[in-house]
Structure 1
Amino acid sequence: MIESLLWGVVGAAPLVLGAVLAGLRRWPDRLIGIVLGFGAGALVASIAFELWEEGLQQGGPLPLVLGVVLGAAVYFVADRLVERRAAKAGGAAAAGVPLALGALLDGVPEQLVLGFGLADGQGVSIALVVAIFVSNLPESVGSSADLLDGGVKKPAVLGIWSAVAVVCALSTVLGWALADVATVGVRTGLNGFAAGALLVMLVDSMVPEAQRRAKDVAGVATVFGFALAAGLATVPF
């Protein structure tokens, strides 16, 4: 259990680090956009090579597709609820929340799967750790920057991302504890759930925000992020 908790903390730490970095100073819009674009590319690679490909090999298309649909639906509904509350509060309080919501809905099933693997005796590769860092950090930096721009105080931003990180880290321990009862279908469905939530978040929030901030270089940054994360996913360590 201690090992699963340690790896859970390692996987969730970039979320808090991103909030800290965003709060240190006001970063240029163009730089934040590049970071978001890079993170979006990394997440696309994560969906393709880690969540979808591994899920397909593990449990086949049916539980994977069902998970994708459920993850997309849950994110869509939760994001609409956030938007309604934001409209009542004037909008500022919800700046950056879609990225945090996406990180939560992605991080929980992803780290549950990590816990399953640890319980089964599978090692954690350096490539996986770096890939988690590359994808999680830009989400947190971008969301935190938006929250701060929307008038949310630094302690509150740090609190939001600390809460997300704690839930994600504990999910690894939960996955370790439930490994014996989690069927292949459930594990595959969790991969799909994370992929579905991420895809909607990318199209609705992360990519448009990267384009708004970085403009003409957002696409190039996305390609670089994809190339790095895809390379890490396919090179054994």
Structure 2
Amino acid sequence: MAVLLESAVWGAIAASSLLLGAILTAIRPWPRMLVGLVLAFGAGALIASIAFELAEEGLSTGGAVPVAIGLAIGAATFFLADRGVERLGARDGKSGAGLPLAIGALLDGIPEQAVLGIGIATGEGVSAALLIAIFVSNLPESLGSSADMLRAKSPRRHVLLLWAGVSVACMVATVVGTLVADAASDELRAGIEGFAAGALLVMLIDAMAPEAREKAKGWAGLATVLGFALAAGLSLLSGE
């Protein structure tokens, strides 16, 4: 029971940045340039997370085949979910602004935090550097998505409820990961990490990077490198 409580607490801390981004955006409007810079910074952080946290860890844990399978399934899942949002928006006469980033956060957050829960159950512990890295990568997704939704006249209440739901789902995934830790093989963990990486990669190219470039213009590349450098450093520290 103590392990489950610990898992729930760490899961809530890791996922809280998703709701925090929505709250910050609901409090006041943010300039397009600033939103673009935050998105670009977050894109760099996510690239580092894919390289150093998901793909590398998956390869060392379960090998190349489970990671490759997870990558393909994760990429296809986000692609199909994104197309579903586009069709729904076209049918309802809405743009679906911000939803691809929310879908990406959900498809990334659930498997990533499930792996976090498995690590807690197996006694690997949680480092402060890893939690900071999760914050750095999650916050821009919710902030950018929420800004687009509010700009498209979505009610603040709906935006906050959406991100509260995503945060809760990610927290629950941490607890579920702890519960199924005994049955989770190394290959399954590697596949889960590959799934998160695949979903993130498609989201980055299809939604996050183009939006960051559109809003931040020529500053997007520099902000991306800064985000990558910080997240890569934190990932290396968490592995020590």
TM-score over 0.5 for the pair: yes
Distance 2:139 2:104 in 1: 13
Q: Partner residue of 1:156?
A: 158
Amino acid at match of 1:54: E
Q: Partner residue of 1:41?
A: 44
Q: Specify the SS of the correspondent of 2:89.
A: helix
| TM-score normalised per structure 1 | 0.98
RMSD: 0.7
Distance 1:91 1:226 in 2: 33
**CA-CA distance at 1:150 after TM superposition:** 1.1
Q: Which segments of 5 or more consecutive residues in structure 1 lack a partner in the other structure?
A: none
Amino acid at match of 2:97: A
**CA-CA distance at 1:151 after TM superposition:** 1.1
The aligned runs of 1:217-232 (5 Å cut-off) are 217-232=219-234
Aligned match for 1:73, one of 76, 92, 102: 76
**CA-CA distance at 1:91 after TM superposition:** 2.2
Matched, 1:195 2:202: no
**CA-CA distance at 1:26 after TM superposition:** 1.0
Q: Partner residue of 2:20?
A: 17
Superposed CA deviations along residues 173-230 of structure 1, whole A, max 9, x for unmatched, are 0000000011111110000000000000000000000001000101100000000000
The aligned runs of 1:50-129 (5 Å cut-off) are 50-92=53-95, 94-129=96-131
Q: What is the identity percentage for the equivalent residue pairs of Structure 1 and Structure 2? A: 58
Q: Which segments of 5 or more consecutive residues in structure 2 lack a partner in the other structure?
A: none
Superposed CA deviations along residues 143-196 of structure 1, whole A, max 9, x for unmatched, are 000110111010100000000000000000000000001111111000000000
Distance 1:89 1:149 in 2: 17
Distance 2:193 2:162 in 1: 24
Amino acid at match of 1:230: A
Superposed CA deviations along residues 72-118 of structure 1, whole A, max 9, x for unmatched, are 000000100000000011224x1000000000000000000000000
**CA-CA distance at 1:235 after TM superposition:** 2.1
Distance 1:86 1:39 in 2: 26
Distance 1:137 1:78 in 2: 21
Q: Specify the SS of the correspondent of 1:121.
A: coil
Distance 2:132 2:174 in 1: 17
| TM-score normalised per structure 2 | 0.97
Amino acid at match of 2:212: A
Count of aligned residue pairs for this structure pair = 236
